[in-house]
Amino acid sequence: MSESLKVIYENGVFKPLQRVNLKEHQKLELIIKRAIKDASVSKQKSPLRLIGLFESDVDDLAVNHDTYLYDCPQKA
């Protein structure tokens, strides 16, 4: 079973930022994923930033994708 836990690294020790339900000396495997400190940076990298980016009045965008994107002649 895996569980996500936010920690802080201080003086060579990982300290949990919330209460944990573990036994003393229990061995675990720690996978480190660095947190992004600046919320504006995290929004910039989010796929949600693409919502609304491709709004257009073109009705046949899916059908003529290559024509619009690569300026290729439409196949018959």
pTM (2 d.p.): 0.42
Type of residue at 29: E
How many domains are contained in the chain?
1
Within a domain: 43 = yes
User: What is the pLDDT, as a whole number, of residue 10?
Assistant: 93
User: What is the pLDDT, as a whole number, of residue 62?
Assistant: 75
Rg of the chain taking only CA atoms, in angstroms: 24
**Per 3-state DSSP, what percentage of the chain is helix, strand, and coil (rounded to 5)?**
20, 10, 70
Within a domain: 2 = no
Tell me which residue range forms the domain holding 28: 7-70
Kindly report, residue by residue over 22-73, the tens digit of the pLDDT. Answer: 999 999 998 888 876 655 555 556 666 666 666 667 777 777 777 777 777 6
Compute φ and ψ for 14, nearest 5 degrees.
-85, 120
Within a domain: 42 = yes
Tokens representing residue 62 in the block = 């899916």
Within a domain: 32 = yes
Within a domain: 19 = yes
Type of residue at 36: I
Within a domain: 27 = yes
With CA atoms as reference, report the closest residue to 7 among 19, 64, 57, 15. 15
